[in-house]
Amino acid sequence: MRSVVIVGASLAGVSAAKSLRKHGFTGSISVVGDEPHPPYQRPPLSKQFLAGTWDRPRVDLRMPDTLGVEWMLGARAASLDAYRRDVVLADGRRLPFEGLVIATGARARRPRWYAERAGAFMLRTLDDAIAIRDHVRAGARRFAIVGAGFIGSEVAATLSALGCDVTLIDIEPVPMLRVLGEPIARVCLRAHEAHGVRCELGVAVEGLTGTSSAQGVRLADGHVIDADGVVVGAGATPNVEWLDGSGIVLDDGVACDATGAARGIDRAVAAGDVARLDHPYYGSHRVEHWNNAITQADAAARTLLGGAVPHVAIPFFWSDQYDSKLQLVGLPSPTDTIRVVEGSLDAPRFVALYERDGVATAAFFFNSMHRVAAYTATIEAAAREATPAAAP
Amino acid sequence: MKIVVDFDACMSNAQCMRAAPSVFEVRDDGFLYILQEEPPESLRAAVEEAARLCPTQAITIEDGGAK
Ligand SMILES: Cc1cc2nc3c(=O)[nH]c(=O)nc-3n(C[C@H](O)[C@H](O)[C@H](O)COP(=O)(O)OP(=O)(O)OC[C@H]3O[C@@H](n4cnc5c(N)ncnc54)[C@H](O)[C@@H]3O)c2cc1C
Ligand code: SF4
């Protein structure tokens, strides 16, 4: 193979380029990305960058000078001609490839009631974060945050630390309920309340108020939350539209086997938020976390170079909210039982295990980073054991 | 090989400790400690993995060798 085209110039795409070089690929690599900025890190956008403690250069994704790739930034892939093996750009240019890496990630999901207007924001890109930051700098003080998932919760924490008056709204009765389960989600709720963030929970949002600019949100119970700014964190949607009709199998993301090979086409792989891999432990599964993009990109690079190995890394993510550091390792399900194994839910730090039939499926860490490595090994071993056939 | 950690960037996420526990340790004070600043070549693969997984790109490996 002499040429690889990578579509998506963010974490998964850049990691794939690094891994291709690391595994000995000396051919040409072109990286196509529709954002105008050089690759950057998203996690600080809701944390240090929004807070103003990290400036623009700190957010850049670091890369060795020796990567040797051709950057095509500000260029959008419009379609894939799988027969001729060309990526077709929005301006009509065709990029022939032998190997293809699909790393187009995801975008913020747009609720039906959302409307583009001044003072209304979603948060996925650097430009989104700059817009919110500028709005605060221009004097906006009252914020309504819609969606108490990770991004919404982090934005609420960051804006309240900046002195803003924040209301956090979610249809569920506690923040982050679906990911963390009730007892642990309650710990997060307590943190918001302790920092003076008002929580409007268990209620749907019906729409934005205000005409030329957002003045708040209207709730389904008739209540109106007035605000100078509204930030919506309603999850993410994989960017796969450019692959419609290409023959690549799409199923809430790019359907891949366990090694990252995309189904429906030869010598094409996917990694990161856009990829739905057949995980040896968890089955068909799409993950929207930082480390996953790095490890999947490595598996994808090896697959493309002919040394296919299944991607077995277990999910890991972290979140920083107020002064607390949260981490989750593994894949809990809503019916798992939660057992606190160190500290207690009222303590400033604790570790909890999610268990199903007595087997640990995931571990949650609250200000307990020093325990992450040990419990990760436990969760990995349990997952491997529960899936004997898949053991690498 | 010399390990340099940008402690302003380090968020104590302990991913490095998973990859190379004999080099990186996050202690219960929440801070990262480097156990060996110049680990032997035999640990290069593990240290490179640590640098790659570090979410904030805080780890640099200095002198020769690949990155
Ligand atoms: C605000 C925020 C905070 C986060 N915090 C955390 C955290 O604390 N911990 C954690 O584990 N994870 C966090 N994440 C998730 C993490 O950032 C993602 O998992 C990671 O960015 C995935 O990388 P990716 O390269 O797969 O996708 P993306 O980063 O989405 O990159 C895909 C790129 O492809 C481009 N693209 C899309 N379509 C096309 C096309 N047709 N042509 C060309 N280019 C295209 C996109 O514009 C984008 O630049 C956070 C995400 C956000 C938004
Ligand atoms: S992985 Fe990076 S951020 Fe985490 S403790 Fe190690 S150096 Fe610090």
Q: Quick check: B44 pLDDT over 50? A: yes
Q: What is the pLDDT of residue A161?
A: 96
CATH number at residue A151: 3.50.50.60
CATH number at residue A381: 3.30.390.30
Q: Which of A199, A232, A265 is the last residue of a domain?
A: A232
Here the ipTM equals 0.87
Total count of domains within chain B: 1
Residue A317 lies in a domain: no
Averaged over B38-43, what is the pLDDT?
95
Judge if A96 and A149 occupy the same domain. Answer: no
Q: Which residue of A has its CA nearest to B28?
A: A370
Judge if A228 and A248 occupy the same domain. Answer: no
Judge if A265 and A356 occupy the same domain. Answer: no
Q: What is the pLDDT of residue A63?
A: 86
Q: What is the pLDDT of residue B67?
A: 42
The C-alpha atoms of residue A391 and residue A40 are separated, in whole angstroms, by 35
- Higher pLDDT pick, A303 / B9: A303
Under the banding of pLDDT at 50, 70 and 90, the label for residue A389 is: low
| Structural domain harbouring A341 | 323-386
CATH number at residue B37: 3.30.70.20
Percent of chain B with pLDDT over 70: 94
CB-CB neighbours of A111 under 10 Å: 16
Q: Quick check: A7 pLDDT over 70? A: yes
The C-alpha atoms of residue B9 and residue B51 are separated, in whole angstroms, by 13
Averaged over B13-41, what is the pLDDT?
93
3-state DSSP assignment of residue A181:
coil
- pLDDT tens-place string over residues A142-156: 999 999 999 999 999
Q: What is the pLDDT of residue B56?
A: 84
Residue A309 lies in a domain: no
Q: What is the pLDDT of residue A388?
A: 63
The C-alpha atoms of residue A22 and residue B66 are separated, in whole angstroms, by 8
Q: What is the pLDDT of residue A387?
A: 81
Q: What is the mean pLDDT of chain A?
A: 95
Mutate which: B6, B15, B28, vs A, most A CBs within 10 A: B15
Residue A191 lies in a domain: yes
* Residue B6, phi then psi, degrees to nearest 5: -85, 100
Q: Are A377 and A362 in contact (CB under 8 A)?
A: no
Interacting residues of A357 by C-beta distance below 8 A, sequence separation 6+: none
Q: Quick check: A340 pLDDT over 50? A: yes
| Structural domain harbouring B22 | 2-62
Q: A317-323 contacts: CB < 8 A, separation 24 or more?
A: A317/A150, A317/A289, A317/A290, A317/A291, A318/B11, A318/B13, A318/B55, A319/A150, A319/A153, A319/A154, A320/A47, A320/A154, A320/A157, A320/B11, A321/A153, A321/A154, A321/A157, A321/A188, A321/A191, A322/A157, A322/A161, A322/A191, A322/A194, A322/A195
Closest approach atom of ligand 2 to CA B53:
1
Q: Which of A276, A304, A332 is the last residue of a domain?
A: A304
CB-side neighbour CA atoms (13 Å) of A250: 15
Q: What is the pLDDT of residue A139?
A: 96
From the CA of A35, the nearest ligand is 1
Which string of DSSP letters, residue by residue, matches B15-39?
HHHHH-TTTEEE-TTS-EEES-SS-
Strands, E assignment, A344-387: 350-356, 359-366
Residue A28 C-alpha to ligand 1 middle, in angstroms? 24
Q: What is the pLDDT of residue B12?
A: 86
Total count of domains within chain A: 3
Which string of DSSP letters, residue by residue, matches A240-257?
-GGGTTSS--BSSSEEB-
Q: Quick check: A269 pLDDT over 50? A: yes
Q: What is the pLDDT of residue A84?
A: 96
Judge if A261 and A166 occupy the same domain. Answer: no
Q: Are A359 and A317 in contact (CB under 8 A)?
A: no
Judge if A217 and A241 occupy the same domain. Answer: no
Judge if A133 and A224 occupy the same domain. Answer: yes
Judge if A272 and A352 occupy the same domain. Answer: no
Q: Quick check: B30 pLDDT over 70? A: yes
Q: Quick check: A391 pLDDT over 60? A: no
Judge if A245 and A258 occupy the same domain. Answer: yes
- pLDDT tens-place string over residues A219-233: 999 999 999 999 999
Q: Which of A217, A232, A247 is the last residue of a domain?
A: A232
**Whole-structure pTM value:** 0.95
Residue B67 lies in a domain: no
Residue B47 lies in a domain: yes
- pLDDT tens-place string over residues A194-220: 999 999 999 999 999 998 999 999 999
Report the sign of the C-alpha dihedral through residues B54, B57, B61, B66, in that order: positive
Q: What is the pLDDT of residue B55?
A: 86
Q: What is the pLDDT of residue A329?
A: 96
Judging contacts by C-beta atoms under 8 Å, the chain A residues touching residue B13 are: 318, 325, 327, 369, 372
Judge if A242 and A100 occupy the same domain. Answer: yes
Q: Give B21→chain A minimum CA distance, Å.
A: 8
Residues of chain B numbered 6-65 and touching chain A (CB < 8 Å)? 9, 11-15, 17-18, 21, 25-28, 30, 52-53, 55-57
Q: What is the pLDDT of residue A280?
A: 92
Mutate which: B6, B47, B56, B59, vs A, most A CBs within 10 A: B56
Judging contacts by C-beta atoms under 8 Å, the chain A residues touching residue B45 are: none
Residue B51 lies in a domain: yes
- pLDDT tens-place string over residues A9-41: 999 999 999 999 999 999 999 999 999 999 999
Judge if A274 and A339 occupy the same domain. Answer: no
Interchain CB distance below 8 Å, A376 and B12:
no
Interchain CB distance below 8 Å, A290 and B12:
no
Q: What is the pLDDT of residue B64?
A: 58
CB-CB neighbours of A384 under 10 Å: 16
